[in-house]
Amino acid sequence: MENKYTVGSLYAGVGGICLGFEKSGFTLKWANEFDKKACITYRNNFKHNLIEGDVMELDVTSLEKVDILTAGFPCQPFSLAGHRKGFNDSRGNHFFKILDFIDEMRPKVVFLENVKNLRGHDKGNTLKVIQSEIKKRNYTFDSSVLNTKDFGNTPHNRERLFMIAFDKEFVNNKKFKFQFPEKEHLTKSLQDLIITDKVPDKFYYTEDKYMYNMLKESVVNKNHIYQFRRQYVRENKSGLCPTLTANMGTGGHNVPIIITDHGFRKLTPRECFRLQGFPDEYKLPAISNSSLYKQAGNSVSMPVIQRLAAEIFKVIEKVEAKKLKTEKA
């Protein structure tokens, strides 16, 4: 039996947001993703309708209306790593496309995800515009930066901004404020996620590699992850994985390094997906490792989404139960 609350997902990537909502009891109706390789991975794991193509060309009126609209919209315009162009960048217009969906579908909840740095972009004006436009449509607006290590029980230092808006008419509560989940104690370690068996040779750094001696000297602790930085090796002594990035897919030495009984090597794509909280049942298709690294780095941390989605589910159930009680009275 299908669950009664439905989700439509924009900028779905490989489905990290979708999987988090599905695991919290929602039904996925449709998703949209532009990247062809990400679509291959997505279709390997989900059965519902995936619309492959540019969100800007989507006919909003042709899609089934949903209870929850989710969008992990492009980070670039708001990232310190980007050009700080914000809404002046054509990609910044993606937010205004999301508003078209909100206007047409009038979902009960809007769920947005972006980089932490969006908060300070253009002296805070970018976030003010987002908040203002959503509130103008008679929605609440609550936002918070959550770190995967604190909210996803995964040893991954990854901070992301989450913005959650409820239709005020739906919640029918002038004082309504969405309560983000509480921090939880991290119980998983890197060793829980690392493959201990020997992985294929291509992942190892052997003596013929120019940085071999530098790695041999620096990469010594099995509980730590390392990063090669041209002239030196950086050790992450916290026992956490540094933020995984899409740059892992560009080649070079951007993938974090570990030491095992079999030598020092890069993390494998499966380990990167584990560090984003994806279960091993999540299928990785037979595409290039560079594509899989990029997808893992671009994704959200699934357990963080699952916790947020569970809180959203509770709110909806509470509101629906209250309405039912009122109708019966």
Query: Would you please indicate which residues are annotated as catalytic (active-site) residues?
Result: 75
Measured CA to CA, the distance from residue 31 to residue 39 in angstroms comes to 10
- State the burial class of residue 155 (Cβ atoms within 10 Å of its Cβ: 0-12, 13-18, 19+): buried
3-state secondary structure string, the chain?
Answer: CCCCCEEEEECCCCCHHHHHHHHCCCEEEEEEECCHHHHHHHHCCCCCEEEECCHHHCCHHHCCCCCEEEECCCCHHHCCCCCCCHHHCHHHHHHHHHHHHHHHHCCCEEEEEEEHHHHHHHHHHHHHHHHHHHHHCCECCEEEEEEHHHHCCCCECCEEEEEEEEEHHHHCCCCCCCCCCCCCCCCCCHHHHCCCCCCCHHHECCCCCCCHHHHHHHCCCCCCEEEEECCEEEEECCCCECCCCHHHHHCCCCCCEEEECCEEEECCHHHHHHHCCCCCCCCCCCCCHHHHHHHHHHCCCHHHHHHHHHHHHHHHHHHHHHHHHHHHC
